[in-house]
Amino acid sequence: MRSIEHFINGQRVAGSSGRHGEVFDPNSGHVQARVALAGADELEHAVATAAAAQADWAKVNPQRRARVMFEFKRLLEANMDELAALLSSEHGKVHSDARGDIQRGLEVIEFSCGIPHLLKGEYTQGAGPGIDVYSARQPLGVVAGITPFNFPAMIPMWMFGPAIASGNAFILKPSERDPSVPVRLAELMIEAGLPPGVLNVVHGDKDTVEALVKHPAIKAVSFVGSSDIAQSVYALGAQHGKRMQCMGGAKNHGIILPDADLDQAVADILGAAYGSAGERCMALPVVVPVGEATAEALRARLLEKIPTLKVGVSSDPQAHFGPVVTAAHKARIEHYIQMGVDEGAELVLDGRGFQLPGHEGGFFLGATLFDRVTDAMTTYRDEIFGPVLQIVRAETFEEALALPSRHAYGNGVAIFTRNGDAAREFAERVEVGMVGINVPIPVPVAYHSFGGWKRSGFGDLNQYGLDGVRFFTRTKTVTQRWPRGGAVTDQSFVIPTMR
């Protein structure tokens, strides 16, 4: 059986803790690999290696660091098919979606190639008599990232791209469910010219997460996962004086106004709700039609289109989505489907019991559709994270606006309409961090930033973009004076001013 090792100081390192996790093939249900779980020794090795490498890496000028990122970008593109196949084999998402996972991470690497410009500080000449002031952004030192299973390529690159380009050393703790791609990314970074030790990958579980967050040598931690864990990790990091950035869960809504292009909206909703088997924090699991006529028309079109979706193995180019990541996660989704029935929602299409011929042991679910869901239901309030779409009917624009605004999560929302005034008002008033207007999955481009509100995000700075550079650097401001002619100024015992 294949063994997945840590990656420390530029090479794969076998685990010494004696603890291992199982990595499944979601298409068959079989265990395909064992991943080493770190103990104290591996973690200390990674931190010490990163600290030793960071000092020299920070001295490398930004332009040369950018050249490493450029070469890494080239290697990602050259190895895209290999990486996508490896990703699909452990996660279960179809190859086209796996390539998208890698591509969105690659775009943050492209952004990070501009680090010489992004690190430029500010300068004021003559801020006072003979006084100049300038500021510079400097790396923090050793930083860490803790990433989820659903985007094993994209989210690690969201984090380590800006962090490493800014002069930090990085320790990545990826999900133990699909850990192979993060290790390959680290190997490609070494091939691109990154010095050994600057990027390390340490596998682990809850114990490893807590040890990383508490470690005195780690200055900042970026985290993506469920909201309860994000809040817990954020609190633990704050307790230990860390700079923290913790992204949580979501329950994104799609608002359908009566004037929307319904055919286009349905096409968008199908991909956003069922793509990647719903295992996206930016999935669109709730659709809110405004008015009974809109709701009935939407339901009819969904009932027409959903049965045409093909569920298949991740290597099937015709499949719209593949299996979910583990048997435990499949059982969790099925539990929520039954809960929806018990709560009184109308189960229009039931994805439970789906089996793919020849892959009966795989972790497959069919597309599920609920109608007449209310905001009092647990299945509406909770993040299901599976191929389950819920229709929540609204009578008015105001009622539709209120649903995502008062929800505990505030990650993303979309509105479908031809009315620019309504769209503008919705975007201005809705209490959600990322808004799409006729865009079902409003993940910002790499030179903006990603982040939700409320229980979708803990911390003041978002992922990637300028916020990513700010998170992984700190500002140093210098006020300087060079007296002319050796003149001595009078003593002063008041606070200095620039009068």
Task: Tell whether 368 and 243 lie within a shared domain.
Answer: no
Task: Tell whether 217 and 365 lie within a shared domain.
Answer: no
**Residue 487 binned pLDDT confidence (cut-offs 50, 70, 90):** low
Map residue 494 onto helix, strand or coil. Answer: coil
**Is residue 23 included in any domain, yes or no?**
yes
CA distance 370 to 45: 50
Map residue 334 onto helix, strand or coil. Answer: helix
Identify the pLDDT of residue 135. 96
Domain CATH number, residue 57: 3.40.605.10
CA distance 135 to 461: 20
CA distance 89 to 96: 13
Task: Tell whether 209 and 331 lie within a shared domain.
Answer: no
Backbone angles phi, psi at 218, to 5 degrees: -95, 120
Tens of pLDDT, residue by residue over 116-169, are: 999 999 999 999 888 999 999 999 999 999 999 999 999 999 999 999 999 999
**Nearest 5°: CA angle at 465, between 272 and 86?**
55
pLDDT at 395 > cutoff 90 = yes
Task: Tell whether 258 and 272 lie within a shared domain.
Answer: yes
Residue where one domain finishes, among candidates 409, 437, 465: 437
> What percent of the chain has a predicted confidence (pLDDT) above 90?
94
Tens of pLDDT, residue by residue over 358-391, are: 999 999 999 999 999 999 999 999 999 999 999 9
Which residues 6+ apart lie within 8 Å of 433 measured at CB? 410, 411, 412, 451, 452, 453, 456, 457
**Is residue 484 included in any domain, yes or no?**
no
> What percent of the chain has a predicted confidence (pLDDT) above 70?
97
Catalytic residue among 247, 281, 377, 422: 281
**Is residue 494 included in any domain, yes or no?**
no
Instruction: Give the number of domains in the chain.
Output: 2
Task: Tell whether 191 and 244 lie within a shared domain.
Answer: yes
Task: Tell whether 427 and 399 lie within a shared domain.
Answer: yes
Identify the pLDDT of residue 398. 98
Q: Which domain holds residue 359?
A: 253-437
Identify the pLDDT of residue 70. 98
**Is residue 408 included in any domain, yes or no?**
yes
Task: Tell whether 356 and 294 lie within a shared domain.
Answer: yes
Is residue 281 annotated as part of the catalytic site, yes or no?
Answer: yes
Tens of pLDDT, residue by residue over 60-81, are: 999 999 999 999 999 999 999 9
**Per-residue three-class SS string for 422-434:** HHHHHHHHCCCCE
| 171 strand-pairing partners | 144, 200
